[in-house]
Structure 1
Amino acid sequence: MRKTVAALLAALASGLFAAPAHAAGGDVTWTVRTASNSYGDDRSSYSYAINPGSTIKDAMVVANRGKDPLNLAVYTADGFTTEAGQLDLRTRDTKALAIGAWAKPTGATIAVAPGRTVQVPFAVTVPANATPGDYVGGILTSLTQASSTETINVERRLGIRIKLRVGGDLAPALSVEGLAVDWNGSANPIADGDATVSYTIHNTGNASLSADQAVRIEGAFGMFHADAAKIAAPPELLPGESWKVSVPVHGVAAAVDLTATVTLTPKITDASGTTTSLPAVTESTHFRAVSWTLILLIVLAIALIVVAVLLRRRNRARRRAREDDRVAKAVADALREKADTTA
């Protein structure tokens, strides 16, 4: 049985794949672009505002830049954000739940002659009970070829992003989850240390969001504060997605009890491409920042003080014992002399 390796041949995050897709040997080349129609010319991707129960019709243009005929599969898929922060599309064997199920091309395959283009119509029908909010997916062309080793098949994919904003109440929301701090002090008891603040950004709303981030560490009444350097914005997260963040903060004082605060300013982009900042979201946690070198020095100082006190008490007790012995001896000598005189 041959395994299938899927290769996405351009950046879905930018929508249109401007560069043609090349097979390993350079013998297959094709491009895709949006069709020019009432939705516009030279679009970088498909973007629609649509109400539940409605249908939108559009088309993709596929061009064969090679010298041989092309037989391509055409399908749609749901989108997701990869661990590298890039938009990708699910494979054909993954069950579609949103755009991958709602968008349908007119046919499952197309044939494109060398030097020719083919227009691929498709329709997006949003169910009447669809949840309002943002959805991202794409329409793809695909070519599966045997590799040179004859042991695997390689699927080469080229497609265009589809973004939907389904009408209804839009409720954008981000949360900070799993906030934790790891503090590392210096061997120098009076030097500051470094902290690593870790947390997860979770898109708990129904709109695609990015955010500006800020991290501050401070003691009581704002003392000993230290701010993280500028933090890169997370990728635009789809509803329900999460993004792990780890931020270094330098110059953190060993002030025992400190507070780390994460501030997110969500950013939402409308259909026209305008980005708007939403009210900030904050989350805080307390943590301990203790210099163990300083603690050791304090313990040693206390131990020295205790030893000094004990030695002083012991010496005082010895002096008292010697004085008691001297007095007792003097009394005994006096009594002895008196007895001798009486006799």
Structure 2
Amino acid sequence: MHAPIPRRTTTVAALLRTALLALLATLVVTGPLTVPAAAAGGDVTWTVRTAPNGYGSDRSSFAYGVNPGGRIDDAMVVANRGKQPLTLAVYAADGYTTDAGRLDLLTRDKKSVGVGAWVHADRTNVQVAPGRTVRVPFRVTVPDNATPGDYVGGLLTSLKQADDAAGINVDRRLGIRVKLRVSGALRPRLAVEDLAVDYHGTATPFATGGATVTYTVHNTGNAVLSARQNVTLNGPFGWLKARTGAVAAPPELLPGERWKVTVPVHEVTPAFRLTASVTLTPLLTDASGSVSPLAPVRATAGGWAVPWTLLIAVLVLAAAGTTWLLLARRARARRAERENARVRQAVQEALRTQETQTH
């Protein structure tokens, strides 16, 4: 997969402007290249593509199945679309998935241990005349002790230029994705980790609220995987099921990588206890490009959904009712005491009258 990958290193600039340029420099495009990569002034353009050979005549990327200790010879074609001669650095680097879900490649100063360490071009620099193309052969050499599974990286061309106006050095990179599948036991596995539910109530006592389900998809196997995802949220005993909507598929994750997923859920009934269930169906792509679904992976976790406003209202009503009952009881007691006092007084007066009459 063609991937123009610009890089910029700050030298002298205002902090704000440098920060903005550095942010723009992190942009990575990982689809097949549709336009040439252009330098800052637009006067330097070049493209890269796979060389037609026994591996294919119209490949968008390099992909191989290889045994430990195996070797593969292939080539990349570099074309100069500009009007000036070009001298480009050539090197390989390991790949990784960015927070935006795109494939990026390590910079040259970072150590590679897979594709970047095993792919070697026959030169470290290539010179291309205006309007001409140059074929750059390379060899993939897999160590004898290479662990089975998938490895992803890229073969890159790089042009460094000074931008005096901006006060920076611009490193423009244009490359092609390289995927290796080292033969042996393939163990495609995904895991759901750190599953949690967070309920957000409302001020209206009898209204539904919202919830957020979060979890991490972890590629614990040795194959590149994506997945279909399904999330459900239920109340006690499976009642009061909430709508989660469609959950976007994670990007293809390289072995060992993690991807954080956040799913907002609306119209959640505060049923005191919620249960979130996540089902992942791993998707494995074979050498021909066919995608096969694997056995689903499931996980569940609970969270509290206490209707605090309603609960407070109920407690206030209960306290008011209890207070009313206590006051009513006290009033009845006072009335009974007054009645008893009147009875005692009447009895005493009757006794005094009887005693007077006797004497």
Normalised-by-shorter TM-score class: over 0.9
Secondary structure at the aligned position of 1:171 is classed as coil
7 and 293 in structure 1: CA distance in 2 versus 1, 3 angstrom threshold: closer
User: 1:277 is matched with which residue: 293, 318, 330?
Assistant: 293
10 and 283 in structure 1: CA distance in 2 versus 1, 3 angstrom threshold: closer
Matched, 1:43 2:43: no
User: 2:195 is matched with which residue: 168, 179, 195?
Assistant: 179
Q: Deviations over 1:154-184 (max 9, x none)?
A: 1111110000111111111111111122212
Q: Distance in 2 between matches of 1:262 and 1:329?
A: 79
Structure 1 residue 250, shift from structure 2 partner = 1.3
User: 2:245 is matched with which residue: 205, 229, 239?
Assistant: 229
Matched, 1:190 2:191: no
| Alignment check: 8 A CA contact 1:9 1:157 kept | no
| Alignment check: 8 A CA contact 2:152 2:178 kept | yes
Structure 1 residue 131, shift from structure 2 partner = 1.2
Q: Deviations over 1:131-171 (max 9, x none)?
A: 11111000000010111337321111111000011111111
TM-score (norm 1): 0.95
61 and 10 in structure 1: CA distance in 2 versus 1, 3 angstrom threshold: farther
More displaced 10-residue stretch of structure 1: 329-338 or 211-220: 329-338
- Tell me what 1:261 maps to: 277
Report the AA paired with residue 273 of structure 2: D
| Alignment check: 8 A CA contact 2:28 2:104 kept | no
Equivalent runs, 1:83-232 vs 2, <5 Å = 83-149=99-165, 151-232=167-248
Equivalent runs, 1:285-296 vs 2, <5 Å = 285-296=301-312
Question: What 5-or-longer segments of structure 2 have no aligned partner?
Answer: 1-8, 12-21
Q: Distance in 2 between matches of 1:37 and 1:149?
A: 44
Report the AA paired with residue 164 of structure 2: S
Q: Distance in 2 between matches of 1:18 and 1:188?
A: 53
- Tell me what 2:345 maps to: 329
Runs of 4+ displaced beyond 3 Å:
2-10
295 and 187 in structure 1: CA distance in 2 versus 1, 3 angstrom threshold: same
Matched, 1:57 2:97: no
| Alignment check: 8 A CA contact 1:7 1:157 kept | no
Secondary structure at the aligned position of 1:316 is classed as helix
Matched, 1:238 2:238: no
Structure 1 residue 10, shift from structure 2 partner = 6.5
TM-score (norm 2): 0.91
| Alignment check: 8 A CA contact 2:94 2:113 kept | yes
10 and 183 in structure 1: CA distance in 2 versus 1, 3 angstrom threshold: closer
Matched, 1:11 2:60: no
Report the AA paired with residue 230 of structure 1: A
Report the AA paired with residue 54 of structure 2: S
User: 2:267 is matched with which residue: 232, 248, 251?
Assistant: 251
| Alignment check: 8 A CA contact 1:9 1:21 kept | no
| Alignment check: 8 A CA contact 1:216 1:225 kept | yes
| Alignment check: 8 A CA contact 1:7 1:156 kept | no
Q: Deviations over 1:43-81 (max 9, x none)?
A: 000000111111111000001111111111000000011
Q: Distance in 2 between matches of 1:37 and 1:7?
A: 34
Q: How many residues align?
A: 340
How many percent of aligned residue pairs carry the same amino acid? 59
Report the AA paired with residue 109 of structure 1: N
Q: Distance in 1 between matches of 2:171 and 2:196?
A: 42
Secondary structure at the aligned position of 2:199 is classed as strand
- Tell me what 1:312 maps to: 328
| Alignment check: 8 A CA contact 2:226 2:249 kept | yes
95 and 143 in structure 1: CA distance in 2 versus 1, 3 angstrom threshold: same
Q: Distance in 2 between matches of 1:261 and 1:227?
A: 13
Q: Distance in 1 between matches of 2:27 and 2:129?
A: 21
Secondary structure at the aligned position of 1:40 is classed as coil
Q: Distance in 2 between matches of 1:236 and 1:300?
A: 53
Structure 1 residue 8, shift from structure 2 partner = 7.7
Secondary structure at the aligned position of 1:226 is classed as coil
